[in-house]
Structure 1
């Protein structure tokens, strides 16, 4: 199965479905990523703070898959935003991954109390220009942070990776992103089991209508909204289930019913910007 791609504002293509290794233990990462690659995933999302870049790199190395068929993302952690630290951090990540470049490098959080995310963005532009990252973007940025880094550099992030799921749809950020050609990646796309999404009629009925699981219905909702999504699992059966999203399509009414599940800020399950520094 060929995964559809999305064209970024810098001209590069990103697979719309990937595999995320957040909270995958380092000792399990090589196996889990290897299984994902065997199933057909070609987009892997990791981060320095996950402590599992080595496992991702080992799985890539033993896969035999040509580098140009893979899309690898990693992220700059908050304590490396100042000065020239981002330049050292990318080299450390590349060494752990066993790569000479990543396809996407993100600032993990704006961490505004540190006051260094504009500097970090300036350094990511230099990292891109040096060929160590093909595309650059941000994660967990609000509109004000996005506008500030663009004003400082003239460079618009290709991606903003944010918590996004039917209970927390972030319409202020997604609306701004659509107007400025910034693509959205959804983390926590299934709501991390906090709101019984799978039992709600809008999700359960859509899944049943297509002979799919509720998780597949929610992931398909992301896909049809144009979001980039990378659900996490360490179970091969679930990896396969999450991959099988492209042989059905939610109807307009089914999409609207899931859209109506938005709880705005009450739907958030992850940390706020002020809680991560």
Structure 2
């Protein structure tokens, strides 16, 4: 496995693979990898001849009060996981390599980014779209893999690829959970045992919402009211949002039908912001 820090090195390796007729998969990450990231790498390794993993804590997607400096990092552990899972190249650039002095070009989006996480994190998706666009341009992958836990991000990237006629297939992969049901996240490491236990209210509320819909409820407000009531029963939990939206447009729905996304964001102990969701096709 190659570990490189420059765009020129990535392009040289990919060019050599292309000459050999190899297909290339891409997994973009901010590091501190866990089994969720590993599942994306595995999928890419299964479906492509070569897999590139990026490890880059992207400063552009963090707001001024967010956890850029404290975001967990462990490159040595990450590289070991990548190698064991079958990645052939890891691109771990410094910020200066990705954003040269005088950088002023951004990829922005309206509509999809005005809902859910976009409301409380207004610059987040501009940072995501810009850095993912750059990685797509650098690597020129055949396929790119993203987790469903970041469902809005997945929808945004799919729309960007469609709108800008990018020649890459974007593949969403299922949420990977810890044994107790908590969705895997690099930010889970911020929590102590009590906070971790409190965070289980996210997956419990989603199970409740899913049950209510499966029992026949078609009014999204009635579903989210019950979920909010359950989350509020946990003293450490503070709700950012609990929403049922169209899974493609991210817009609120009046009736639960078609492919819907039930998404939640909750702060635990006013310290860790966690997201989780489920997608259902309701006929």
Q: Which has the higher helix share?
A: 1
Q: Which has the higher strand share?
A: 2
TM over 0.5: no
Give the TM-score, by structure 2 length: 0.29
| Higher RCO (C-alpha 8 Å, min separation 6) | 1
Give the TM-score, by structure 1 length: 0.29
Structure of greater Rg: 2
